[in-house]
Amino acid sequence: MENLLKLKVKIMSEKGFLEQLNEKEGKPESFQPEHFEKVKKSNLKYYLIGLLVVVGVLGVFYMLNRPVVMIDMVGMNENDVNLWAKNNEIQLIYTDLYSETVEAGKVISQSIMEKTNINKGDIVELSVSRGIDPDKVILLPLFDNFWSKSAIVAWIEENHISNYQFISVVDEAADEDTLLEYSVESESADTFKRSDRIVFNIAVQPVKTIITMSDLLNLSQSQAENWALTNGVETIIKTAYSNSVDKGKVMSQDILAGSNIESGSAIVLVISKGPAIKIVDFQTMTIAEAKQWATQNNVQLISETKYHMTIPTNKIISQSISAGTWVASGSKIQLIYSLGNRLAIADFVNLPLSQLESFVSDQNGLGAKLKLSITYQYSNVTSINRIVYVEHRDTKINIDSEIEVIVSLGGLVKMPDLSLLESMEAEYLALEVIKTCESSGLTCKIIYVTTEELDLANKVIYQSVEPDMYISDSTLVEVHITKLND
């Protein structure tokens, strides 16, 4: 037992077996000391989540603030343009223009080019066609006997002439369907407007054939004219407003479709001028009611006021278009309302005469027919050209009255004898003259006259108003003082 204990102690005191083994060369790796490393936890997924959130926020911000790409609106109608502007939150400003090429109601031009990036809320200016200009001056060609009716029709269509008429005139000497003569309503061919009436006399031969009348309703005027030309039928064109037939199309014909007629016969075609407004009698309306009616019916109301001897205040004197007349939408009508037959005259005393004259002129422009009877007198109280007295001040008078007015000539003062003033120096004498004039209520102008003689120097030798004369205090007196020539 004792030997075993000693052996155990010896083993414990010496290096451990594994330690000794590791110190030997060529020891296996499995017996090397063990090393432990802490495994770090990955944060990649948190980075990805954060990145997705940022991308999402930026995406929402872009969707809310992304620019609007401008489209090409030229040729679009107003409804489509308004819908696009509403969807893209763009403001539109319209300007109406006549156009020879763009159909009414469609866009002619835009202030911002297509494919341009703009922001919501931006303003885009659009020019919109009102159609052709009816008052445009059209250059008339040299119409002669070489013009055929078909060539004239082509010219009419090309220039959008609407108020025209073809009259067939039997002329055996002339070629069929050639122009004999024409006439216009304008003062001269140089001032012919598109809306002026023009009449063409077309040669036809006396040959008669039986023709079955076609249904021309809802055809365009040119289509109806071509049918008439082809069949040798004379056309009489009239125009009328219509709420059901499109502008420029046939709304009625005086010969029923299916009827037999002879060539050379005349047919009356009524061409639609489009929708119309029937003018009412404004005598029964108040001013507010008239404005409301005009707004509801798209009529431009122009109201004026004038004095009238018999029609009470705020009642209609006249309307430019008679009640019952049909007019196109957007037409202008002028209403003149009465101011009555009396007007108030303010207190013009001490005011300039020009102020009263301006008031009278303004009232006469409204039909007051006032007249001024003006007299002038001196006044030491009222300045020159100001009113001393006016008849009917602060009261009302009848129109077509005469108003008496007294206007001041200024104060009346006595002219002193300035030659009595003396001084050793011309400049001091001038001061004495000015002082004397001012004390007399006058304004004097000094002019120096040089002299070579000492005895004649420093004297008043001339005054433009004789001494002791009574003159207006507004008179400018010229005074000459001699001065020794240095």
**Last residue within a domain, chosen from 360, 378, 408:** 408
Mean pLDDT, residues 57-70: 69
Given pLDDT bands bounded at 50, 70 and 90, which one contains residue 166?
very high
User: Do residues 398 and 353 both lie within one domain?
Assistant: yes
Encode pLDDT of 410-464 as tens digits: 889 999 999 999 899 999 999 999 999 999 989 999 999 999 988 899 999 999 9
Answer whether residue 331 is part of any domain.
yes
Between these two residues, 208 and 16, which has the higher pLDDT value?
208
CATH number, domain containing residue 424: 3.30.10.20
User: Do residues 286 and 332 both lie within one domain?
Assistant: yes
User: Do residues 322 and 346 both lie within one domain?
Assistant: no
**Last residue within a domain, chosen from 292, 321, 338:** 338
Can you name the residues that pair with 405 across neighbouring β-strands? 374, 390
Answer whether residue 440 is part of any domain.
yes
Encode pLDDT of 301-339 as tens digits: 999 999 999 999 999 999 999 999 888 878 899 999 999
Answer whether residue 299 is part of any domain.
yes
pLDDT at 151 (0 to 100): 95
User: Do residues 365 and 382 both lie within one domain?
Assistant: yes
Contact at 8 Å (CB) between 203 and 176? yes
Residue with tokens 């420093």: 458
Q: Any alpha helices (H) in 406-485, and if so which ranges? A: 426-439
Answer whether residue 313 is part of any domain.
yes
**Last residue within a domain, chosen from 383, 408, 433:** 408
User: Do residues 368 and 402 both lie within one domain?
Assistant: yes
Given pLDDT bands bounded at 50, 70 and 90, which one contains residue 11?
very low
Given pLDDT bands bounded at 50, 70 and 90, which one contains residue 343?
very high
H or E element at residue 267: strand 266-272
Can you name the residues that pair with 373 across neighbouring β-strands? 404
Answer whether residue 120 is part of any domain.
no
Split into its structural domains, the chain has a count of: 4
Given a cut of 70, whether residue 34 has pLDDT beyond it is no
Contacts 24+ apart (CB under 8 A), 32-37: none
- Averaged pLDDT of the chain: 87
pLDDT at 23 (0 to 100): 52
- 388 dihedral zone (left: phi>0; alpha: psi -120 to 50; beta): alpha
Q: Quick one: which of 357, 344, 455, 472 has its CA closest to 413?
A: 472
Joined tokens for residue 97: 């223009």
Q: How many residues does the chain have?
A: 486
User: Do residues 330 and 305 both lie within one domain?
Assistant: yes
Answer whether residue 305 is part of any domain.
yes
pLDDT at 165 (0 to 100): 94
User: Do residues 360 and 391 both lie within one domain?
Assistant: yes
Given a cut of 60, whether residue 17 has pLDDT beyond it is no
Contact at 8 Å (CB) between 377 and 422? no
Contact at 8 Å (CB) between 157 and 192? no
Contact at 8 Å (CB) between 429 and 481? yes
Encode pLDDT of 109-130 as tens digits: 999 999 999 999 899 999 999 8
| Structural domain for 423, as ranges | 414-484
In this prediction the pTM is 0.41
Mean pLDDT, residues 63-79: 85
Given pLDDT bands bounded at 50, 70 and 90, which one contains residue 28?
low
Between these two residues, 145 and 36, which has the higher pLDDT value?
145
Given pLDDT bands bounded at 50, 70 and 90, which one contains residue 1?
very low
Answer whether residue 209 is part of any domain.
no
pLDDT at 131 (0 to 100): 87
Answer whether residue 358 is part of any domain.
yes
Can you name the residues that pair with 164 across neighbouring β-strands? 198
